[in-house]
Amino acid sequence: MIPSPFADVPPLLYTDSVDIPVLFRDSPAARPFKQWRTAKPAPWPATAGFPATNGWYLPTTTWREILKAATEVGRDITPHLLRPQLASSELVARVAPLYAYLGTHSVDTKHPLPGSKGRRLTVNPVYEYGTERSAKNALGYRLGMTMAEWATRSLMGLGQTLHIEDGGPVPALRDKFTSPSAKLPDLWGLHPDENQYWMIEAKGGNVRSPRLWEGWKQLQGGTKVLHEYAHRRILVGASVQPQGDLFLTIDHDHHPGKEPLHPAFGTTWPQPPGSPEDHLGDSDDALMGTARAQMLVYLALSGAHPSRLKTVALPADRTNRRRSARGVTTPLERDTYAHAMRGDVRAAFADDAQPGRREYARTLGLDDFLTYRVPGTELRLGMSRQLFAACAQLHREDQLIAEQTPGMRAEDVRADEPVSEEAEERRRHTQRRVFREQQDEQRARIEPRVREAFEYGRNRPWRELLHTQNDPHLDLDEDPGLLEAATAETYLAVREDDLPHHER
């Protein structure tokens, strides 16, 4: 949903729009039975941030925005991978449960809001009648993490989230955050406007109060470690059940303390407002964080066969794709500026094999983002050449560190004898800790190289960045069934006929 410049005009709605009821509370309580349909919700605040009052809200979002959250949240597995093709498998694992078990349905609410879509997510009949409990648990985990990412980043303006097991926000407390025996929350982030840490625990599925209290205890465990520093505790319960709407409970409180630490490296402090992608040109912190967050997509792109890659034309001016109060992505189907420029290039070069087509597009103000359809899905992901070049450099640096961490890469491990799952997890925990410590120690060396690669990639042809003989095909076709979205440096698209099934 894109906010209208006129207060009395309903916001624009898109084909994949859905309403997500959200209840804010001070602490966990009983599940609000049916209130997601009967309570009178307030409109979501016009600016991204933490709501001033508790109660029910009804923001509208897009399926694309939810998928963006799904692909980026969770443990960073890329240090374990040598073969980039395996990154596609992880991307499939992150979105497949959502496609497999979620659907949409139309609802009549007692208190409709102007601009609401009247359509909500629910579980589909496959989940309701044929799914085993273990598969439902898998959906619960993925749904909880996805919706926690969506709520904190798309709704409330949090910066990039990181998995707590990577060491938490304070390096001096790393050992306590990475302890395998500690009961800690899932994620943490630094809110740029509030200038304080957020700790986030995610629960998903048919969430009841015992599971929420369990999550609250995990957040309290994080507070014991981070006690000296001011932070918010955020517990996101993504609850969905047969014949019901997907709704969120967000239980929260604020712990006072010192301001967050200045990062060891970086060019800006405090963190600039908006998405980190909006500040890649002037913030090394933003560039490093964004490159790491997009590493799975980079690996999928770099590991794909050249015939499966193509580029799409987007306006080089990123201004209209900066994050808004409604999310981190901008739907493109109503971007008349982009479509007009694409049409001008098609008119001048009707044959897409004509030389100079790409160069002409660039003279009109179009940039071409590299894209790739994730195998087994209709999800298309991509990024700009500058971000691709930065990710390539960061991955090379990560691989050098991984080579110095025995057993870090999954492809290199050969088990001589069976070990217990608990022992294996402790071993992995230790490896990740050692790896992250080396990343921190070497950041002063790595950061300038990633910055140099980012600037180098600005005007390099894709064939040079991909080490191929030819540039990928530049796709300028207008496909009315393709729903595109973009951020400053990334691209995402789905097909309209591949949206979650709509129950009539």
Percent of the chain with pLDDT over 70: 90
- Give residue 413's pLDDT: 58
What's the pLDDT band for 18 if we cut at 50, 70, 90? very high
Per residue in 195-235, pLDDT (tens digit) is 899 999 999 998 999 999 999 999 999 999 999 999 999 99
What pLDDT is stored for residue 270 in this prediction? 62
> Higher pLDDT residue, 140 or 409?
140
Residue 407 pLDDT: 64
Over the stretch 299-328, which tens digit does the pLDDT of each residue have? Answer: 999 999 999 999 999 999 988 887 776 789
**Could you tell me the end-to-end alpha-carbon distance of the chain, in angstroms, rounded to an integer?**
23
Residue among 323, 248, 251 at smallest CA distance from 19: 248
pLDDT of residue 249: 96
For 360, residues 6+ apart whose C-beta sits below 8 A from its C-beta are: 345, 348, 349
Ranges of beta strands (E only) in 318-357 are: 330-331
Q: Give pLDDT tens digits for 28-84.
A: 998 888 898 899 999 998 777 789 899 999 999 999 999 999 999 988 887 777 677
Query: What are the start-end ranges of the H helices in 73-157?
Result: 86-101, 125, 133-149
pLDDT at 280 over 50: yes
Average pLDDT over residues 481-488: 94
pLDDT at 4: 38
Of 100-104, 173-177, 350-354, 409-413, the one with minimum mean pLDDT is 409-413
Predicted confidence at residue 361, as pLDDT, reads 92
